[in-house]
Structure 1
Amino acid sequence: MVLLAAAVCNKSGKALISRQFVEMTRSRIEGLLAAFPKLMSSGKQHTFVETESVRYVYQPLEKLYVLLITTKASNILEDLETLRLFARVIPEYCRNMEEADIGDQAFSLIFAFDEIVALGYRENVNLAQIRTFTEMDSHEEKVAISVRETQEREAKEAMKKRAKELQQERKEAGRSGKGIGYAGGFGSSSYSSSSSSRDIIEPTPSAETKPSYTSVPSKPSGTGKALKLGSKKKDVDTFVGQLESEGQKVVSSDTSVSSTVAKASTPAVDQDGVHIVMEEKVSLTAGRDGGLQSMEILGMVKVKVNDEQYGRIKVQMINNDKKGTQLQTHPNVDKKRFSTTSNIQLKNPEKPFPLHQDVGVLKWRYTTQDESNMPLSINCWPNETGNGCDVNIEYQLEQPQLELNDVTINIPLPTGVGAPVVGDCDGEYNYDSRKSMLVWSLPVIDASNKSGSLEFSIAGHPDDFFPVHVNFMSKKSYCDLQISDVRLIDGEQPVKYSSEVMCYTDKYEIV
């Protein structure tokens, strides 16, 4: 088979996208596509049509045609099989199959076409492989993002800790009646106060970045502002304000963030000489009428050595997975040892782990379309009434060994119809009028409350309540991987270690 070109065109033969797999001028391909509608016989059902030089193999896609142009010597059965694959790929990127959608996704479609055909010959690929190849997933990028998020989290924790220390010093200074001086570590100025001082130095507003100072008369001791202690929140805000004025970007703990960042930014635990993080991200899409469309679990183990005497270690893992999770070690990890003993250690036993760095040593991936393997199933039942819809939404914990924390189920609502009338509710709910969303919150879902429901009424149509988005996190691994022991390579001496396990949602929706 020699495939000359693949194209998507409208009924009149106008090319929306075209990918040529052999050397061909633009005028040549436009002429071939323009001639295609004229060659079709009305009233007859065909899948191909021929001219003296080429063969058109085509399939209607609503108002459009997906079209392959081949030589007349090509195998028509192979042509039809390739055409079917092209016809399955296009709806993956264009749901509405309109001309505008084809134009918007032109580059994605061309990349997918290149995975199907190379130099005019069909590649041995299926739809799932094409999707994987075009995603261009990078492990190194994920490691870099994870390292950056960890560094940002540690920096924020350090700033909060320093703010608390400054506030505590102020309180102690107030109780003892002594002054407290602040060196200009976070700026070019210094603040000083003393109960016996004749002047109090206070900043005055200035248009420049560097503040100016004036001398004002002091008030009697005990009533002066220099020793007046504000609220904890005010002190912290003042400290954060100083950092922001000097170019430091500080994210408030009250700011709402996306589920991925929120789960990845959980408070850091006290870290021992060796700290191990086990992280899993859940991506899931399920249908509103039941059935799991796709589910993917991506996991990673990261080792951080905080004490150089523990650089040459090995980590003992326990794999209780029964689902068929795919495991992959880092290239610098001894893969043979891991496969036989489940020990994670570097290939070169003389080489230590880098100090104060999160090193990804093991990652895993699990995919399924079996709905019994979902962590949490959500069923939403909108029932139209004369005045709107009665909606019943329920959850069911499908994996009783898991404990899901901070669960939120976000149900979109129609706009401009007011707040819903909520009936029975397991847990708590909140109506967000700005986003037109009902947020159903449950602190914990485990084996003791593995099912629950929420009922409400509101004007609208059943389609208004989708997609439903779910967020949660768990301190247990879905794939049931555990860390059992950490030892030095020399002497097998046990090493005290700290660990974190985080399983959280990256995307979890019912569409």
Structure 2
Amino acid sequence: RWASDCPAKECLHRALKLGAKGKEVDNFVDQLKSEGETIISTSGKRGSDVSKVLPPPVNMESVHLRVEEKISLACGRDGGLQNMEVLGMVTLRVTDEKNGRIRLIINNNDNKGLQLQTHPNVDKKLFTAESVIGLKNPEKSFPLNNDVGVLKWRLQTTDESLIPLTINCWPSESGSGCNVNIEYELQEENLELNDVVICIPVPSGVGAPVIGDLDGEYKHDSRRNLLEWCLPVIDANNKTGSLEFSIAGQPNDFFPINVSFVSKHSYCDIQVTKVSHVDGDSSVRFSTETSFVVDKYVIE
């Protein structure tokens, strides 16, 4: 049975209840936890923000696919990638029983060294040989009206060249406090990052920062003692930018810096390019939604 697969969605969007219950579900959740899958859980305000920015497609076909990725990253303030992990999953939902016996053709352009894992009910040999996801028993159908995680992947690295968005912060002491220069650079030029917010701590009780050169917009949150540098879009046409400001304080006051963004483009280039019936190999119409979001992105 595939009822136990519903928590695959739960791992990505904990707020959504999927109706599947019982011991099978608990066991599957435990299995995911043991594999570190809970890192891709979304919690609190960030999850609701993501759902506002990346709404589900209006025209959902009876075969619908979600390609979802989350990044967790920590960099040192003087450079160096301490750790970066990207977790991804392809989730399938079938709502018409005539499309239950299908296969998914995967286009895997990964050159970063991902670890890929198919669901136990998926034919692993078929996937390894042909990058095709189909059931071990081709006479069986995928379950109807359930979110089924069919493929997941994990990238863990300390290779600085794989950082999607680098942040460089230079605080320098002056007679009256600190002059701070911050710049970003998009290293993965195929990405388009939306609603980027770079949050810089600032000292309390010393007034607002004096802003110099600025790409994008800023907001000083005096209640939380944060300077929020806001950039609606970062892409290949807008791959670098900078912010300068001055305020009373010391260089250590401006860390850790936290970054958030959402994207409709996946970081790891894995896509479903075709869905076909098991019998006859005829094409099946399908819809796809893709999201790449931040779990943690910090410069310490």
Task: Give the TM-score of the pair, scaled to structure 2.
Answer: 0.86
Alignment of 1:52-201 (within 5 A): 143-146=9-12, 148-150=14-16
Tell whether the 8 Å contact from 2:184 to 2:241 is kept in structure 1 after alignment: yes
The aligned counterpart of 1:477 is: 266
Tell whether the 8 Å contact from 1:327 to 1:365 is kept in structure 2 after alignment: yes
Over the matched positions of the two proteins, sequence identity in percent amounts to: 57
Task: Give the TM-score of the pair, scaled to structure 1.
Answer: 0.51
The CA distance in 1 between the partners of 2:143 and 2:101, in whole Å, is 10
1:263 matches 2:50: yes
Higher share in helix: 1
SS in 2 for 1:448: helix
1:391 matches 2:257: no
Compared with structure 1, are the counterparts of its residues 440 and 277 closer, same or farther at alpha carbon in structure 2 (3 Å cutoff)? same
Q: What is the CA deviation profile of residues 344-374 of structure 1, one whole-angstrom value per residue up to 9, with x for unaligned ones?
A: 1111112211111111000000011111110
Aligned-residue offset at 1:262: 2.7
The CA distance in 1 between the partners of 2:108 and 2:184, in whole Å, is 29
Which amino acid is the alignment partner of residue 73 of structure 2? L
The aligned counterpart of 2:79 is: 290
Tell whether the 8 Å contact from 2:90 to 2:151 is kept in structure 1 after alignment: yes
SS in 1 for 2:50: helix
Aligned-residue offset at 1:150: 4.5
The aligned counterpart of 2:276 is: 487
Which amino acid is the alignment partner of residue 131 of structure 2? S
1:353 to 131, 142, 146: 142
SS in 2 for 1:338: helix
SS in 2 for 1:395: strand
The runs of 4+ residues in structure 1 deviating greater than 4 Å are 139-143
Which amino acid is the alignment partner of residue 316 of structure 1? I
Aligned-residue offset at 1:257: 5.2
SS in 2 for 1:289: coil
Tell whether the 8 Å contact from 1:404 to 1:445 is kept in structure 2 after alignment: yes
SS in 1 for 2:146: coil
Structure 2 regions of 5+ residues with no counterpart?
A: 19-42
Compared with structure 1, are the counterparts of its residues 490 and 147 closer, same or farther at alpha carbon in structure 2 (3 Å cutoff)? farther
Aligned-residue offset at 1:391: 0.5
Q: What is the CA deviation profile of residues 247-268 of structure 1, one whole-angstrom value per residue up to 9, with x for unaligned ones?
A: xxxxxxxxx9543453256311
The CA distance in 2 between the partners of 1:387 and 1:379, in whole Å, is 23
Q: What is the CA deviation profile of residues 92-142 of structure 1, one whole-angstrom value per residue up to 9, with x for unaligned ones?
A: xxxxxxxxxxxxxxxxxxxxxxxxxxxxxxxxxxxxxxxxxxxxxxx9865
The CA distance in 2 between the partners of 1:434 and 1:463, in whole Å, is 20
Which amino acid is the alignment partner of residue 341 of structure 1? E
Tell whether the 8 Å contact from 1:147 to 1:358 is kept in structure 2 after alignment: no
Work out the number of aligned pairs and report it: 270
Which amino acid is the alignment partner of residue 201 of structure 2? P
Aligned-residue offset at 1:306: 1.7
Aligned-residue offset at 1:304: 0.5
Aligned-residue offset at 1:148: 5.0
Q: What is the CA deviation profile of residues 25-59 of structure 1, one whole-angstrom value per residue up to 9, with x for unaligned ones?
A: xxxxxxxxxxxxxxxxxxxxxxxxxxxxxxxxxxx
1:365 matches 2:150: no
SS in 1 for 2:142: coil
Aligned-residue offset at 1:282: 0.5
Which amino acid is the alignment partner of residue 347 of structure 1? K
The aligned counterpart of 1:315 is: 104
Aligned-residue offset at 1:299: 0.4
1:462 to 248, 251, 254: 251
Tell whether the 8 Å contact from 1:280 to 1:300 is kept in structure 2 after alignment: yes
Aligned-residue offset at 1:510: 0.1
If you compute each CA radius of gyration, which structure gives the higher value, 1 or 2?
1
The CA distance in 2 between the partners of 1:314 and 1:150, in whole Å, is 27
Which amino acid is the alignment partner of residue 370 of structure 1? D
The CA distance in 2 between the partners of 1:268 and 1:140, in whole Å, is 18
Tell whether the 8 Å contact from 1:278 to 1:300 is kept in structure 2 after alignment: yes
1:510 matches 2:299: yes
Tell whether the 8 Å contact from 1:410 to 1:470 is kept in structure 2 after alignment: yes
Which amino acid is the alignment partner of residue 145 of structure 1? C
The CA distance in 2 between the partners of 1:278 and 1:415, in whole Å, is 41
Compared with structure 1, are the counterparts of its residues 147 and 289 closer, same or farther at alpha carbon in structure 2 (3 Å cutoff)? closer
The aligned counterpart of 1:498 is: 287
Which amino acid is the alignment partner of residue 394 of structure 1? E
The aligned counterpart of 2:91 is: 302
Tell whether the 8 Å contact from 2:166 to 2:186 is kept in structure 1 after alignment: yes
Which amino acid is the alignment partner of residue 307 of structure 1? D
Which amino acid is the alignment partner of residue 283 of structure 2? P
1:432 matches 2:298: no
Tell whether the 8 Å contact from 1:260 to 1:506 is kept in structure 2 after alignment: no
Higher share in strand: 2
The CA distance in 1 between the partners of 2:6 and 2:107, in whole Å, is 25
Compared with structure 1, are the counterparts of its residues 413 and 478 closer, same or farther at alpha carbon in structure 2 (3 Å cutoff)? same
